[in-house]
């Protein structure tokens, strides 16, 4: 191939002929060649179209020597095996200059808890709140062993229809339940989660059990440690029932065992990637679950399955022992039946652990004295103003959420909340998504270079296998500049949250990128059900909080939820099973 006769197709044919097609190295394409191939001025010119650059002949000749040096450095880097858990030294901090983590309120003694009656059918407790379960356990009206066995029986009966469980941790669970019962009998009370069964998204390491990440290449992987959130829930006395499904490598609801189903509509997927945590919680297979979000993985399945999801502020919950997808965007959070349940779980799992450098906050402390009417609440007016029937917003129309969205604002006003119209800062959020794809490609670099990405179930254009490959052509310069734009976004959102403490927004409106924006900035969110479509499937509303402002966020979201009853509904197909 000569310098005078190149085009895109010829360029790709050239690289294929040189044996470069499956062994491309990270960075700009013209800096990526395989062993034995020579970098020349001609190959530099071939790559300029892909890189979006233009050089003259003298500049290309001058570049060759440096590119060959970079090639040697990259080859040396590839010879070093990096574990998924080894994070870059560049740590993302969501706080803008001049801002600090706000102090948590003083812990107040818990109010006297009403002890509910024990139902004749113990399975009625499958959908009970954590507060009610905790009160029954503390009063020794039921035992943790009884609860654990009830949930295990439901998993065996119902999960074959849902595919939400990857690995049962039955032996561990029963041992923990017996230990909880013995401690409670001696009067040792660890807190509101003591003896309560839960499920972990299977990207959290649990010693002695497989941690599959939902992906075929890792289906037999055993990580010899407990993730920090697992250790903290162990310390709180909670009982781990199961490792729950995630779409492979935290994308979607399809994993190597099939598609996780929506308990409200079994012919529909539960969405993802926290597919199992949302489905299992909605179906009453666990009392609560831990999920994760990078770009919608708590929000989307919580919406689909009608549960309450909390995406904490980036830096609130340590990610130690969790699969890394994007070091600067991954967040762990609870998926529960209510906002109050989420608060109890967040108290148990939050706070720096000394190992995850991005975890910078103290443990969260709920403030029961905080009232929604005292919180400054905004709403994204333009998102609520999208008409129900609008050809330009067909997705929104098909979802049919506007009636529910408007009704939710009326409920909040009825609670004495003064709603202030605000608008989202307008920035190129979609362009910043290269941050996620570049980091994800780095996290699974060896999977791509070894060609084991062929073992992934999902192989379409938008699935990880192809995304990892294409992300290798993102220039390092552009990745850094995307993060510089991200700093601007953080500053603009900080100005917005100087005017309000909480923002209410429809969860999903076509052309309204709040989900992408707030995952980039690290803001917390509560996603909860606020209605049901004619086919019986749930729809959701999202509440956004200031950075490390989970207290006011949950005060407002919790007040809305207590004034409605959507979160108390049960999927009839599952409950009747």
- The mean pLDDT of the chain is 91
Name the least confident of 38-52, 220-234, 479-493, 537-551. Answer: 38-52
pLDDT at 576 over 80: no
Distance, CA of 510 to CA of 394 (rounded, Å): 8
Instruction: Print the SS3 string covering 338-374.
Output: CHHHHHHHHHHHCCCCCCCCCCCCCCCCCCCCCCHHH
Distance, CA of 211 to CA of 350 (rounded, Å): 22
The confidence score (pLDDT) of residue 374 equals 97
pLDDT at 25 over 60: no
Q: For the purposes of burial, counting CB atoms within 10 Å of the CB of 111, is it exposed (0-12), middle (13-18) or buried (19 or more)?
A: exposed
**Mean pLDDT for the stretch of residues 416-439:** 97
**Percent of the chain whose pLDDT exceeds 70:** 90
pLDDT band at 471 (very low <50, low <70, confident <90, very high): very high
Distance, CA of 305 to CA of 524 (rounded, Å): 20
pLDDT band at 107 (very low <50, low <70, confident <90, very high): confident
**Mean pLDDT for the stretch of residues 14-18:** 40
pLDDT band at 304 (very low <50, low <70, confident <90, very high): very high
- With contact defined as beta carbons under 8 Å apart, do 340 and 472 qualify? no
- Identify the residue whose tokens are 């998926």: 335
Identify the bridge partners of residue 436 per DSSP, sorted by sequence position.
Answer: none
pLDDT band at 473 (very low <50, low <70, confident <90, very high): confident
pTM higher than 0.95: no
pLDDT at 422 over 70: yes
Task: Say if strands 502-506 and 377-380 run parallel, antiparallel, or are unpaired.
Answer: parallel
The confidence score (pLDDT) of residue 5 equals 36
Per-residue pLDDT of 198-240, as tens digits, reads 999 999 999 999 999 999 999 999 999 999 999 999 999 999 9
**Mean pLDDT for the stretch of residues 529-536:** 95
Active-site annotation, residues = 201, 273, 297
218's tokens: 């890792």
- Identify the residue whose tokens are 């880097």: 77
Determine which helix (DSSP H) or strand (DSSP E) holds 254, and give its type and residue range.
strand 254-255
pLDDT at 493 over 80: yes
Distance, CA of 30 to CA of 18 (rounded, Å): 14
More confident residue, 29 or 217: 217
Dihedral angle, C-alpha 248, 252, 258, 263, nearest 10 °: 140
The confidence score (pLDDT) of residue 30 equals 34
The confidence score (pLDDT) of residue 126 equals 97
Strand ranges (DSSP E) for 469-574? 502-506, 525-532, 538-545
pLDDT at 4 over 80: no
The confidence score (pLDDT) of residue 388 equals 66
Distance, CA of 194 to CA of 348 (rounded, Å): 11
Task: Write out the DSSP string of 173-239.
Answer: HHHHHHHHHHHHHTT----TTTT-EEEEETTB--TTSB--TT-GGGTT-B-SS--HHHHHHHHTT-E
pLDDT at 255 over 60: yes
The confidence score (pLDDT) of residue 38 equals 84
Distance, CA of 126 to CA of 154 (rounded, Å): 9
Identify the bridge partners of residue 201 per DSSP, sorted by sequence position.
Answer: 244
The confidence score (pLDDT) of residue 573 equals 66
Distance, CA of 441 to CA of 449 (rounded, Å): 10
Per-residue pLDDT of 357-368, as tens digits, reads 999 999 999 999
Task: Write out the DSSP string of 255-294.
Answer: ETTEEPEETTEEEEE--SSSHHHHHHHHTTSSS-EEEEES
- Check residue 509 and report its DSSP letter: B
Tell me if residue 252 falls in helix, strand or coil.
coil
pLDDT band at 575 (very low <50, low <70, confident <90, very high): low
Per-residue pLDDT of 367-403, as tens digits, reads 999 999 999 999 999 999 988 654 445 444 444 689 9
- With contact defined as beta carbons under 8 Å apart, do 379 and 505 qualify? yes
Distance, CA of 26 to CA of 78 (rounded, Å): 10
- Which CATH entry fits the domain spanning 122-362+370-429+479-575: 3.90.1300.10, 3.40.640.10, 3.90.1150.10, 3.90.226.10? 3.90.1300.10
**Domain definitions of the chain by residue range:** 1-80, 122-362+370-429+479-575
pLDDT band at 21 (very low <50, low <70, confident <90, very high): very low
Q: How far apart are the first and last CA of the chain?
A: 66
Dihedral angle, C-alpha 79, 434, 539, 315, nearest 10 °: 70
Per-residue pLDDT of 36-87, as tens digits, reads 468 899 888 888 877 788 999 999 999 999 988 888 888 888 899 999 999 9
Q: Which long-range contacts (CB under 8 A, 24 or more apart) does 173-179 make?
A: 173/148, 173/197, 173/239, 173/240, 173/241, 174/145, 174/148, 174/149, 176/144, 176/148, 176/234, 176/237, 176/238, 176/239, 176/240, 177/143, 177/144, 177/145, 177/147, 177/148, 177/239, 178/144, 178/145
Ranked by mean pLDDT, the top range of 72-76, 114-118, 524-528 is: 524-528
**Percent of the chain whose pLDDT exceeds 90:** 82
- Check residue 494 and report its DSSP letter: H
Q: Provide, for the chain, the percentages of residues in helix, strand and coil under a 3-state DSSP scheme, each rounded to the nearest 5.
A: 40, 15, 45
Distance, CA of 361 to CA of 93 (rounded, Å): 11
- With contact defined as beta carbons under 8 Å apart, do 291 and 309 qualify? yes
Task: Write out the DSSP string of 117-151.
Answer: PPPSSGGGGGG--HHHHHHHHHTTSS-HHHHHHHH
């Amino acid at each position: 191939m000569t310098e005078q006769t190149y085009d895109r197709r010829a360029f790709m044919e050239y690289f294929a002929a040189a044996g470069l097609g499956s062994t491309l190295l990270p960075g700009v394409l013209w800096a990526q060649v395989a062993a034995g191939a020579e970098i020349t001025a001609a190959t530099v010119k071939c790559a300029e179209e892909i890189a979006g650059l233009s050089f003259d002949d003298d500049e290309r000749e001058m570049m060759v020597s440096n590119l060959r040096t970079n090639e040697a450095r990259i080859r040396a880097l590839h010879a070093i095996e990096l574990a998924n858990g080894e994070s870059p030294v560049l740590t993302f901090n969501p706080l803008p200059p001049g801002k600090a983590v706000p102090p948590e309120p003083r812990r107040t003694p818990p109010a006297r808890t009403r002890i509910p009656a024990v139902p004749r059918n113990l399975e009625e407790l499958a959908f009970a709140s954590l507060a009610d379960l905790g009160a029954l356990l503390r009063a020794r009206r039921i035992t943790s062993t009884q609860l654990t066995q009830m949930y295990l029986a439901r998993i065996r009966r119902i999960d074959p229809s849902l595919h939400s469980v990857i690995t049962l941790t039955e032996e561990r669970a029963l041992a923990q339940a017996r230990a909880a019962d013995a401690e409670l009998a001696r009067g040792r009370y660890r807190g509101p989660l003591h003896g309560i069964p839960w499920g972990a998204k299977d990207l959290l390491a649990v010693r002695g059990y497989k941690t599959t990440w939902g992906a075929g290449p890792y289906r037999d992987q055993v990580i010899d440690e407990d993730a920090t959130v697992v250790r903290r829930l162990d310390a709180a006395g909670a009982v781990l029932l199961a490792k729950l499904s995630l779409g492979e490598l935290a994308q979607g609801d399809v994993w190597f065992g099939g598609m996780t189903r929506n308990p409200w509509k079994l012919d529909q997927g539960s969405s993802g990637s926290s597919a199992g945590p949302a489905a299992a919680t909605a179906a009453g297979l666990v009392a609560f679950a831990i999920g994760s979000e990078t770009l919608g993985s708590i929000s989307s399945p919580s919406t689909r399955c009608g549960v309450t999801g909390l995406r904490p502020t980036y830096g609130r919950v340590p990610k130690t022992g969790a699969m890394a997808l994007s070091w600067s965007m991954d967040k762990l959070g609870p998926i529960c039946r209510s906002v109050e349940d989420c608060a109890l779980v967040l108290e148990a799992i939050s706070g720096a652990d000394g190992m995850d450098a991005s975890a910078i906050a103290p443990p969260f402390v709920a403030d029961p004295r905080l009232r929604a009417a005292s919180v400054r609440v905004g709403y994204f007016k333009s998102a609520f103003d999208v008409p129900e029937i609008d050809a330009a917003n067909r997705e929104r129309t098909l979802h049919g959420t506007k009636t529910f969205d408007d009704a939710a604002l009326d409920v909040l006003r009825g609670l004495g909340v003064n709603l202030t119209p605000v608008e989202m800062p307008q920035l190129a959020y979609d362009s910043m998504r290269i941050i996620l794809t570049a980091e994800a490609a780095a996290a699974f670099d060896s999977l791509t270079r070894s060609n084991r990405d062929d073992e992934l179930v999902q192989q379409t254009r938008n699935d990880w296998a192809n995304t990892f490959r294409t992300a290798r052509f993102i220039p390092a310069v552009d990745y850094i500049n995307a993060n510089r734009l991200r700093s601007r976004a953080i500053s603009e959102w900080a100005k917005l949250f100087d005017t309000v403490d909480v923002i209410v927004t429809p969860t999903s409106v076509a052309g309204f990128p709040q989900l992408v924006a707030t995952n980039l900035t690290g803001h917390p969110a509560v996603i909860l059900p606020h209605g049901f479509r004619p086919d019986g499937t749930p729809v959701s509303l999202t509440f956004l909080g200031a950075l490390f402002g989970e207290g006011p966020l949950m005060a407002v979201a919790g007040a809305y939820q207590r004034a409605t009853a959507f979160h108390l509904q049960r999927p009839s197909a599952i409950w009747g099973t």
